Chain A
Amino acid sequence: SAVISQKPSRDICQRGTSLTIQCQVDSQVTMMFWYRQQPGQSLTLIATANQGSEATYESGFVIDKFPISRPNLTFSTLTVSNMSPEDSSIYLCSAVQGGENTIYFGEGSWLTVV
């Protein structure tokens, strides 16, 4: 299994600012993803973080709002740009290891925009 660390775990942000979430995996993984979970809702996939190239975004999510980096096989960042209260959510980093079907999650980053 993969152990995934995220930081910050929680933050209160001012409207209009940007915040970068870091995700570190304890082993090399084939795929990394970023999800969002708004209060009382299910998980929604934001994008697949591709190593060394641009992320693949899902419908409704764009690079200008959620720039993602993945410089190597164990690390990724998600930036939430120009935040508004609607961006208040838990942001989750996840990963899949080669040969496994299980998606492992980090502990989540709980952002509140005021």
Chain B
Amino acid sequence: SQKIEQNSEALNIQEGKTATLTCNYTNYSPAYLQWYRQDPGRGPVFLLLIRENEKEKRKERLKVTFDTTLKQSLFHITASQPADSATYLCALAPPGGYQKVTFGTGTKLQVIP
């Protein structure tokens, strides 16, 4: 089965800096990878999806990279703001199997004013 490693320790960063979160996985190479934001006690909110044949995807201040050789995805938030403080989850999906989507435990980001 797929295993995902996200840094379980909280990431503290100064406002205005770039936050970089890491998602490492083992076993098979996923068909695509998703990043979600989750606030305490709430459901995850979809942010970005990147496919296995894509190296990079951007959306406003967000950037995701996908390195299938390293089995790693990086999630960047540029010009970070206190409102970006939340837990960020990565999720990996094998080809053709939504039931087999595996979620990481998430990394908590704290942006300090």
| Binary CB contact string for chain A from 102 to 114 against chain B (1 if under 8 A, 0 otherwise) | 1111111010000
With A and B bound together, what is the CA distance between A92 and B36 in angstroms?
14
Given the known interface contacts A41-B105, A48-B99, the answer about A102 and B46 at a Cβ–Cβ threshold of 8 Å is yes
Q: Are B105 and A106 in contact (CB under 8 A)?
A: no
Chain A, interface size category, equals: 20 to 34
One digit per residue, 1 when the CB lies within 8 angstroms of any chain B CB and 0 when it does not, for chain A 78-114 equals 0000000000001010101000011111111010000
Contact between A42 and B49, CB atoms less than 8 A apart? no
Whether A75 sits at the interface, judged by CB under 8 Å, is no
Binding site for A on B (CB under 8 A): 31-32, 34, 36, 41-46, 49, 89, 91, 93, 98-99, 101, 103-106
Q: Across the interface, do A107 and B43 meet the contact criterion of CB distance under 8 Å?
A: yes
Question: In the complex, A108→B61 CA distance in Å?
Answer: 26
Contact B91 A103 (CB under 8 A): yes
Verify B41–A90 contact, CB threshold 8 A.
Answer: yes
User: Which residue of chain B has the shortest Cβ distance to A95 in the bound complex?
Assistant: B98
Give the number of residue pairs across the A-B interface with Cβ within 8 Å: 55
Q: Are B103 and A33 in contact (CB under 8 A)?
A: no
Give complex CA distance A6, B42 in Å.
11
Which one of B43, B49, B103, B105 lies within 8 Å of A101 (CB-CB)? B49
Q: Which of B34, B43, B91, B105 has the most CB of A within 10 A?
A: B43
Whether the pair A105, B98 counts as a contact (CB closer than 8 A) is no
CB pair A101 B104 closer than 8 Å: no
Task: Name which of A58, A102, A108 has the most chain B CB atoms within 10 A of its CB.
Answer: A102
Q: Is the CB of A101 within 8 A of B32?
A: yes
Tell me the nearest residue of chain A to B102, going by C-beta: A42
A92 touches B43 (CB 8 A): yes
Report the bound CA distance from A33 to B42 in whole Å.
16
CB distance from A52 to the nearest CB of B (A): 18
With A and B bound together, what is the CA distance between A31 and B46 in angstroms? 17
Give A27-84 interface residues, CB cut-off 8 Å to B: 31, 33, 40-43, 45, 48, 56, 58
Contacts of A92 in B (CB 8 A): 43-44
Residues of B within 8 A of A33 (CB): 98-99
Assess the B89–A42 pair: CB atoms within 8 A.
yes
